[in-house]
């Protein structure tokens, strides 16, 4: 027994060594980029630390910021729409049997499993077939489409934990359908709805492939801008942007986690 414990302490197992290497592998590229965002000169030759690229990012990149504004507009509008439609559908699918239920269930998972290129191309061809001009609206429609399955999935998962008797209890105690929805269902599933919404925001801010196909002139989002920077002349401003974006996502994620915890604790 004692010998066994000794053995365990004396060597790190193969699997945990792999795990630590993998974590290093995942972080090193980001770390390099962040490190060089504080480099004074261009390129990978370290000269000395400075905030030059951050100044450039904040004060001298108006088109980046307007792309970011587009990204935000798209993220919020599409996430709100997707959250609204997806939540209602999840409730309907979970609790009612009706014609078309199977169709909606199947179709709601597909956009999640098909490669992004397919979604992008099919929407591009669709929009040009029905002669809709590419622009903010088409991006909004595309983002709502790929966000919807995630809201639907997360709210459905939350509903699975939900005891349907509470809905019956509400009806039994005199609530009509809309009162039941407002006073019982929504308050109970709100954590699922919010995490779905947040997931939509992050995915929408991050999407490049689908947006690439359905964007038109003047409707470029931040990932599209980053793409053009990578493609046509890399500027270390990206390095600075990387760090800002990592910090941004971390802040959102942590505040949201805390928020979710308080919601969970209070219910």
Partner 1 sequence: MKKVLKPREREQLLGTTYAFPMGIWFTLFFTIPLSIIVLYSFLKRGLYGGVEWEFTLDAYRQMFNPSFAKVVIRTLWISIVATLGSILIAIPCGYAMAKSKYQTILLFLIIIPFWTNSLIRIYAWISILSTEGFINTLLIKMGILTEGVQLIYNNGAVVLVLIYMYLPFAILPLFTTIDKFDFALLDAARDLGATKLEAIVKVMFPNIKSGLSTAFIFTFIPIFGAYTVPLLVGGKDSTMIGNIIVDQVSKTRNWPLASAFSMVLTLISLVGVFWMLYNGKREQQQTKKTTQQSLELNIRRHHLRKVNSK
Partner 2 sequence: MKGVEIAVEQVSRAYGTFKALDDVSVTIHKGEFFSLLGPSGCGKTTLLRIIAGFDYPDTGTVEFDGKDILPLPPDKRQSNTVFQTYALFPHLTVYENVAFPLRLRRVEKEELDRKVREYIRLVQLEEHIDKKPSMLSGGQKQRVAIARALINEPSVLLLDEPLSALDAKLRQNLLIELDVIHDKVGITFIYVTHDQSEALSVSDRIAVMNKGKILQIGTPYEIYEAPATRFVAQFIGESNIFPCKVLACEPYGKEYMLTVDVPSLGGEVTVTDYDPSEIGAEVDFTVRPEKVRITPNPPKTTHTYMNSYKGVVDEPVYSGFQSKFYIRLDNEAKPIIKVFKQHTAFLDEGPEIEWRDTVYVSWTAADGYIVKETDR
Binding stretches for partner 2 (CB under 8 A): 163, 165-166, 168-176, 179, 183-184, 187-188, 266-267
Closest CB to partner 2 among residues 17, 173: 173
Name the binder of 9 from partner 1, partner 2, none, CB < 5-8 A by kind. Answer: none
Residues of the chain by 3-state class (helix, strand, coil), percent to 5:
80, 0, 20
Whether 159 and 91 have beta carbons less than 8 Å apart is answered as: yes
For residues 188 and 202, which CB has a smaller minimum distance to partner 2 in the complex? 188
The first and second tokens of residue 263, run together, are 């919601």
Q: Helix, strand or coil for residue 96? A: coil
| Least distance (Å) between residue 169 CB and partner 2 | 4
How long a stretch of residues is the chain? 267
CA 17 to chain centre: 31
Kindly report the CA angle at 202 between 59 and 121, in degrees rounded to 5? 100
**Considering the complex, what minimum distance in angstroms separates the CB of residue 231 from partner 1?**
8
Nearer to partner 1, 55 or 101 (CB): 101
* Secondary structure class of 161 (helix, strand, coil): helix
Query: Which of the listed partners (partner 1, partner 2, none) does 51 bind, with a CB threshold of 5 to 8 Å by partner kind?
Result: none
Q: In the complex with partner 1, which residue's Cβ is closer, 100 or 217?
A: 100
Q: What's the min distance (Å) between Cβ of 240 and partner 1? A: 11
């Amino acid at each position: 027994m004692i010998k066994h414990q000794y053995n365990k302490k004396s060597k790190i197992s193969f699997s945990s060594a792999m795990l630590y290497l993998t974590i290093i592998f995942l972080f090193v590229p980001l770390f390099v980029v962040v490190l060089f965002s504080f480099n004074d000169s261009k390129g990978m030759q370290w000269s000395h630390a400075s905030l030059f690229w951050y100044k450039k990012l904040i004060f001298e990149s108006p088109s980046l910021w307007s792309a970011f504004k587009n990204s935000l507009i798209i993220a919020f509008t599409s996430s709100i729409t997707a959250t609204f439609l997806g939540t209602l559908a999840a409730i309907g699918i979970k609790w009612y049997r009706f014609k078309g239920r199977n169709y909606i269930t199947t179709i709601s998972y597909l956009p999640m499993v098909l490669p992004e290129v397919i979604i992008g191309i099919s929407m591009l061809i669709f929009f040009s077939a029905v002669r809709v001009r590419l622009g903010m609206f088409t991006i909004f429609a595309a983002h709502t489409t790929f966000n919807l399955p995630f809201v639907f999935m997360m709210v459905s998962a939350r509903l699975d934990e939900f005891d349907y008797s509470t809905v019956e209890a509400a009806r039994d105690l005199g609530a009509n359908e809309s009162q039941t929805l407002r006073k019982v269902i929504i308050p109970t599933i709100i954590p699922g709805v919010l995490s779905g919404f947040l997931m939509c925001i992050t995915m929408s801010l991050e999407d490049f492939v689908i947006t690439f196909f359905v964007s038109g002139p003047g409707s470029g989002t931040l990932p599209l801008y980053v793409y053009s920077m990578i493609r046509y002349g890399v500027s270390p401003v990206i390095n600075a942007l990387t760090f800002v974006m990592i910090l941004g996502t971390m802040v959102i994620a942590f505040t949201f986690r805390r928020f979710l915890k308080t919601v969970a604790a209070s219910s």
